[in-house]
Structure 1
């Protein structure tokens, strides 16, 4: 009964994680349509890539005992493909400075995983010690992944707009972390449960923040804040439509929370 319940929770966790990893499709369809990354950050996707790489390795028989964590392998393997796709699209449309930053972060994530995989495979010769090493790295990566959307929290609070904090990303983050926390507890595996003890409350916080600001109108086109050098003085340019008669800029109502 316990194994069946654990498997059922693992399947639900897979479904929620698949929605979590696929949620940015809406964001990147906008990037492709506008041929611009605007103010979106790629940091959450590079951290998610590291998380998926580490936990795919964690679930393989090299680290785990047999295929006891097969659900972990399947969903994180899919996550690797999706995150790489998102990063590639971002690199295609990002400005030069952003491309350099994202390229460096992605290379660092792959390097960190490679070092972890090699150390676990050739330094330790039993599953418990391999789990400790890979699980510890995975713990850090998971906490960073669930917390990475918080990089836009300051922007959300300042602008009172959730335009750059996608609702579905926050929702599926909460669902996935809660289900994997249950899976880890049922498996008596602290390396699967612990990061989600952090991820679940962070998901709740993001949802509360979204609900607080979702009713505020947002601009159809986001504000632009480039610094322009002119006569030694920096001036700020705003990409805002104004009527000839001096009325306030037009605003579009934000889409309702699903």
Structure 2
């Protein structure tokens, strides 16, 4: 009874932290709606949020993990689609955005068809085996998405200033990772444990960099604005999941904005 109560408490905490990460782009999307302009915001983090959420929703359905996996990421799917609708309405680069979304929707369509066909037993796999396959795919997607914003850490080291780090979202992401790895340990689930070890390590390293190169004591160098002018602007795309979103495309003549922080996904494979 005690173990079951503890597990449910962790599941609730994991669900709450995941919801916070999923909703993290909402403020920036509201600003886009209010200004009727996407500015320097990139579609990549929003498309990634949709891809990540949809894959975990399929996974939760296949392994019958209704809570927290399935229902949390049903909400994530709806939220990501809503964000993308707003972005599509106000973007001036519809050709590029259309190509990105076409690629994402195509991949998700293939995964959905596989889940449906496999669920009916037409792939020669059991429902649980299909879920396990989807779990591996989800792990790969989560690691790829989480690795994308690591480019900003190179900027921190290059300019010796942590202004590129949204420390509040890093802390929130680290809390989310700790909750899910605890859930993974309690459920003896290495699909959860292994990736979150990586996520916790990266977030912890990011916090160490922030403390070493604190913006208050290590501001950007005087030549930063000249070095990052329009003619030599560097590309910075941040998807910090874990849903989790700073989504600048270019380093501007101002300090980097923290538009989107992406959600770090839970990684679940145990059927419930």
TM norm. shorter chain > 0.5: yes
Distance 1:90 1:161 in 2: 29
- 5 Å-filtered alignment, 1:139-178, equals 139-158=139-158, 160=161, 162=163, 165-178=165-178
> Are residues 1:120 and 2:121 paired?
no
**Higher normalized contact order (CA 8 Å, seq sep 6+, divided by chain length):** 2
Instruction: Check the 8 A contact 1:54/1:113 in 2, yes or no.
Output: yes
Query: In structure 2, the residue corresponding to 1:188 is in which secondary structure?
Result: coil
Instruction: Check the 8 A contact 2:184/2:193 in 1, yes or no.
Output: yes
Listed as ranges, the gaps of 5+ residues in structure 2 are 118-122, 233-251, 258-272
Distance 2:40 2:214 in 1: 18
Counterpart in the other structure of 1:233: none
Please provide the CA RMSD for this pair.
3.4
Distance 1:188 1:101 in 2: 43
Distance 2:4 2:201 in 1: 27
> Are residues 1:199 and 2:199 paired?
yes
Listed as ranges, the gaps of 5+ residues in structure 1 are 229-238, 241-250
Greater CA drift, 41-50 or 12-21: 41-50
Distance 1:191 1:104, change over 3 A: farther
2:73 to 76, 97, 100: 76
> Are residues 1:59 and 2:56 paired?
no
Counterpart in the other structure of 2:88: 91
Instruction: Check the 8 A contact 2:58/2:115 in 1, yes or no.
Output: no
Distance 1:167 1:49, change over 3 A: farther
What is the deviation of 1:13? Answer: 0.6
* Larger gyration radius, structure 1 or structure 2: 1
Distance 1:180 1:104, change over 3 A: farther
